[in-house]
Amino acid sequence: MNTSLAKNTADSTKSLRILHISPTDTVGGAALGAYGVHRALLHVGIDSLMLVQRKYSDDSSVITQGIDGGIAVEAFRDRIDRIPLYLQARRPDNWWTVGVLPINIRRAVHRLKPDIVQFHWAGRGAAPIETLSAIPHVPIVWTLRDMWPLTGGCHYSGGCERFLSGCGACPQIGSSKTADLSSRQWNRKYRAWRHLNITFVALSRWMANYARKSPLALDKPVSVIPNGIDTRTFRPMDKLEARRMWCLPRDRKIVMFGALFGTQDPRKGFGHLSEAYRILAAQGATNDMLGVVFGADQGPRLDIDVRYVGHIRKRDELAALYACADVMVVPSLEENFGKTTLEAMACGIPTVAFANTGQLDIIDHRVNGYLAEDRSAEDLARGILWCLDPDQQAGPLGRNARARVQQNYDIGRIAKEYVALYAQLLRKRRRAPSTVRKDKPETAPTAPDCGPLVAHLPRHGGSTA
């Protein structure tokens, strides 16, 4: 950032207050991502607050809204939100949110008077659809931590692109009807958001291209600012010491996998990893391997010795667990921007992933990890063996992984990119005081042709398009 731009940004963000909206603060990947941004903004001098439905931390900058902060209310809201799904032909395998009883933020916005309101995730019944219409005077930044703001209800589309033309006949709820729940939800979003001043922030080029194609985000700015992590917490450490801390054997090659409920969520690709283990076992390559799985207390029998270590809440303990690994495997079928990939690489652990979606932004093939052919268990197995090869383990693979994250994804750097975006939005607001647009058509437009989903998109930098 040049000197004049830095000065303009600093002037634009003096006394700036950001209000982040999230169902929780420290439970769940999306919540942790939001909380990380919030804390990093505080560190660079921004007046940042986080409004949550349920608070887990003792952080005074995280606030709840009276009864909305109660466990019972959260559970009630979540269950009410599921009722329409019980009436469908089938229940979705993944997150599918309706937004029957969203968290009410109007009073909090009126009381706290933020300059910008930033949304992060819409699960647990906290979906902000009509909620956004209640704050038309405040610029809204929405970090796309999944696809829900672009679809009729699913958080990941599983390859379906009907959301680019209004949804309907949703395969995730077993519908063959054009005017189904997904279509009604999609149109509900379009009516509520079409005049609002929303800037979408995608974590990856893959998500940004979908946002630019989506009629729900049409004509709205789309920025690309990725996930960030604290590279001081997630850092290399002595492998033998880490294994001693976790009571893991010193003489085995440890292959790690981890995700919240990752063994149950088909999108996380655990089935493909299981098949890769079967292939490796048939080759006699698993005799000195140990699989380690975090995010689950138990799982299916595999063709490899496996240790399930459960859910890990403390960041330093998770960092030490990563340090035990020789290779991390993230076989997700769709991944907006894999945070476990970043965390493992920051700890100097090369990562094997499928060459799809957001992973393409992070991993450089055979430089700091391995990008396997999409959904190919055979190539996933080859990638694991390649990363475990003694020549690769002794070479710069781990150092390259660490350097990639330090240079591009440290949370301090990401916070500065958000600050630059906020400054840009405030300058635009001063030039055009009215934030409510009235020139959009009443009927939903069709999606533009933006070309291939990952081609010709710039890397992150906080700029809007």
How do residues 235-273 score in pLDDT, each as one tens digit? 999 999 999 999 999 999 999 999 988 999 999 999 999
Integer Rg of the chain from CA: 22
Residue 234 to residue 132: CA distance in whole angstroms: 36
Looking at per-residue pLDDT, the higher value among 407 and 68 belongs to 407
Q: How does residue 104 score in pLDDT terms, banded at 50, 70 and 90?
A: confident
Q: In the predicted model, what is the mean pLDDT of residues 414-437?
A: 83
Question: Comparing C-alpha atoms, which of 350, 342, 354 is closest to residue 386?
Answer: 350
444 within domain boundaries = no
Q: In the predicted model, what is the mean pLDDT of residues 169-184?
A: 97
Instruction: Please return the burial class of 379, using the count of CB atoms within 10 Å of its CB with bins 0-12, 13-18 and 19+.
Output: buried
Residue 274 has pLDDT above 70, yes or no: yes
- Tell me the residue range of the domain where 343 lies: 239-408
Residue 145 to residue 142: CA distance in whole angstroms: 9
User: 146 and 27: one domain?
Assistant: yes
257 within domain boundaries = yes
User: What percent of the chain stands above pLDDT 90?
Assistant: 73
100 within domain boundaries = yes
User: 326 and 397: one domain?
Assistant: yes
User: 378 and 404: one domain?
Assistant: yes
Give the global pTM.
0.89
Number of domains in the chain: 2
441 within domain boundaries = no
Q: How does residue 8 score in pLDDT terms, banded at 50, 70 and 90?
A: low
Question: Comparing C-alpha atoms, which of 347, 340, 458, 459 is closest to residue 403?
Answer: 347
Q: How does residue 394 score in pLDDT terms, banded at 50, 70 and 90?
A: confident
Q: How does residue 71 score in pLDDT terms, banded at 50, 70 and 90?
A: low
- pLDDT value of position 165: 96
- pLDDT value of position 424: 96
Residue 458 has pLDDT above 70, yes or no: no
Q: How does residue 3 score in pLDDT terms, banded at 50, 70 and 90?
A: low
Render the burial of 381-405: b for 16+ CB within 10 Å, e for the rest: bbbbbbbbeeebeeeebbebbbebb
User: 76 and 105: one domain?
Assistant: yes
Q: In the predicted model, what is the mean pLDDT of residues 367-371?
A: 98
- pLDDT value of position 137: 87
Q: How high does pLDDT run on average in the chain?
A: 89
**How are strands ordered across the β-sheet holding 306-310?**
306-310, 289-294, 253-258, 327-330, 351-354, 369-372
Question: Comparing C-alpha atoms, which of 378, 384, 331 is closest to residue 353?
Answer: 331
Looking at per-residue pLDDT, the higher value among 431 and 143 belongs to 143
User: 137 and 186: one domain?
Assistant: yes
User: 360 and 223: one domain?
Assistant: no
User: 377 and 427: one domain?
Assistant: no
- pLDDT value of position 430: 83
- pLDDT value of position 17: 97
Paired residues of 117 in beta bridges: 19, 140
Q: In the predicted model, what is the mean pLDDT of residues 330-357?
A: 97
Q: How does residue 295 score in pLDDT terms, banded at 50, 70 and 90?
A: very high
Residue 93 has pLDDT above 50, yes or no: yes
User: 219 and 81: one domain?
Assistant: yes
Q: In the predicted model, what is the mean pLDDT of residues 229-234?
A: 97
- pLDDT value of position 76: 78
Of the candidate ranges 50-64, 71-85, 226-240, the one whose mean pLDDT is the lowest: 71-85
Residue 202 has pLDDT above 60, yes or no: yes
User: 67 and 180: one domain?
Assistant: yes
Q: How does residue 75 score in pLDDT terms, banded at 50, 70 and 90?
A: confident
249 within domain boundaries = yes
User: Residue 53 belongs to a domain with what CATH number?
Assistant: 3.40.50.2000
**Beta carbons within 10 angstroms of residue 150's beta carbon:** 23
Of the candidate ranges 8-12, 180-184, 219-223, 254-258, the one whose mean pLDDT is the lowest: 8-12
Question: Comparing C-alpha atoms, which of 390, 391, 313, 326 is closest to residue 352?
Answer: 326
Of the candidate ranges 74-88, 133-147, 217-231, 394-408, the one whose mean pLDDT is the lowest: 74-88
Looking at per-residue pLDDT, the higher value among 126 and 367 belongs to 367
Q: How does residue 303 score in pLDDT terms, banded at 50, 70 and 90?
A: very high
User: 313 and 390: one domain?
Assistant: yes
Give the chain as a 3 state SS string: CCHHHHHHHHHHCCCCEEEEEEEECCCCHHHHHHHHHHHHHHHCCCEEEEEEEECCCCCCCEECCHHHHCHHHHHHHHHHHHHHHHCCCCCCCCCECCCCCCCCCHHHHHHHCCCEEEECCCCCCCCCCHHHHCCCCCCEEEEECCCHHHCCCECCCCCCCHHHHCCCCCHHHCCCCCCCHHHHHHHHHHHHHCCCCEEEEECCHHHHHHHHHCCCCCCCCEEECCCCECCCCCCCCCHHHHHHHCCCCCCCEEEEEECCCCCCCHHHCHHHHHHHHHHHHHCCCCCCEEEEEECCCCCCCCCCCEEEEECCCCHHHHHHHHHHCCEEEECCCCCCCCHHHHHHHHCCCCEEEECCCCHHHHCCECCCEEEECCCCHHHHHHHHHHHHCHHHHHCCHHHHHHHHHHHHCEHHHHHHHHHHHHHHHHHHHHHCCCCCCCCCCCCCCCCCCCCCCCCCCCCCCCCEC
User: What percent of the chain stands above pLDDT 70?
Assistant: 87
- pLDDT value of position 446: 52
Residue 221 has pLDDT above 80, yes or no: yes
Q: In the predicted model, what is the mean pLDDT of residues 35-50?
A: 97
Instruction: Please return the burial class of 368, using the count of CB atoms within 10 Å of its CB with bins 0-12, 13-18 and 19+.
Output: buried
- pLDDT value of position 447: 52
Residue 12 has pLDDT above 90, yes or no: no
Question: Comparing C-alpha atoms, which of 114, 229, 225, 302 is closest to residue 464?
Answer: 225
- pLDDT value of position 462: 38
